[in-house]
């Protein structure tokens, strides 16, 4: 495979694991402010991010490339409100979409058709991720972040299973 494409895929494995870490940080925030439904939603999301990382990990190994398991960055966000937490996630998903698109650009440039096909799944997934993260921001904004509406919303989002 093209070296640039391999390097970018390797970096993306790390970014997906960091995403899992970030979502755990957000989940922890909601646990601490007694909103277990939100905490569970973001924990499910953290698991999904690990699956994303493993998809790329498997793809690299299936194509006889190496996977560099680099250090995962520390989660530095200092969340203050549910809305800020939801916005942090939304901002992160837009960043991830941009990173996936950069790998796609490199795969197109390298005429790596197999990786382009592989990345199509991620392009579609990012559409879903952006929709979900925006949804969360809109819901919190719509209901307001008073205790009563957050309690109700917490019940709703807590039903997410996968």
Shortest Å distance, C-beta 130 to Fe ion: 10
User: Measured between alpha carbons, how far is 49 from 57 in angstroms, rounded to an integer?
Assistant: 12
CA dihedral for 123, 56, 48, 134, sign (positive or negative): negative
Q: Does 92 bind Fe ion (CB under 5 A)?
A: no
| C-alpha 7 chain-centroid distance | 20
Taking the CA atoms of the chain, what radius of gyration do you get in angstroms? 17
Shortest Å distance, C-beta 7 to Fe ion: 19
> Within 16-35, which residues bind Fe ion (CB under 5 A)?
16
Shortest Å distance, C-beta 149 to Fe ion: 25
Give the Å distances, CA to CA, from 105 to 108, 109, 115, 146. 5, 6, 11, 44
Q: Contacts with Fe ion: how many residues (CB under 5 A)?
A: 5
Q: By C-beta, is 6 or 12 nearer to Fe ion?
A: 12
Give the Å distances, CA to CA, from 68 to 34, 47, 100, 154. 38, 21, 18, 38
Show the site string, 33-72: x = touches Fe ion by CB under 5 A, - = not: ----------------x--x--------------------
User: Measured between alpha carbons, how far is 107 from 77 in angstroms, rounded to an integer?
Assistant: 32
Shortest Å distance, C-beta 25 to Fe ion: 15
Q: By C-beta, is 134 or 149 nearer to Fe ion?
A: 134
Residue 35 phi, psi dihedral angles, 5° rounding:
-125, 80
User: How many residues does the structure list for the chain?
Assistant: 162
Q: By C-beta, is 50 or 116 nearer to Fe ion?
A: 50
Show the site string, 112-141: x = touches Fe ion by CB under 5 A, - = not: ----------------xx------------
Chain residues in the site for Fe ion (CB under 5 A)? 16, 49, 52, 128-129
């Amino acid at each position: 495979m093209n070296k640039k494409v391999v390097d970018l895929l390797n970096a993306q494995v790390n970014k997906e694991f960091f995403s899992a870490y970030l979502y755990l940080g957000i989940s922890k925030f909601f646990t601490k402010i007694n909103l277990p439904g939100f905490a569970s939603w973001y924990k499910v999301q953290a698991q999904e991010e690990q699956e994303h990382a493993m998809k790329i990990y498997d793809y690299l190994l299936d194509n006889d490339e190496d996977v560099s398991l680099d250090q995962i960055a520390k989660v530095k966000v200092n969340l203050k409100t549910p809305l800020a937490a939801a916005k942090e996630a939304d901002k992160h998903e837009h960043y991830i979409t941009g990173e996936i698109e950069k790998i796609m650009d490199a795969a197109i440039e390298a005429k790596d058709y197999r990786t382009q096909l592989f990345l199509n799944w991620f392009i579609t997934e990012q559409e879903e991720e952006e929709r979900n993260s925006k949804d969360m921001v809109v819901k919190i904004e719509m209901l307001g972040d008073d205790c009563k509406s957050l309690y109700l919303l917490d019940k709703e989002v807590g039903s997410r299973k996968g």
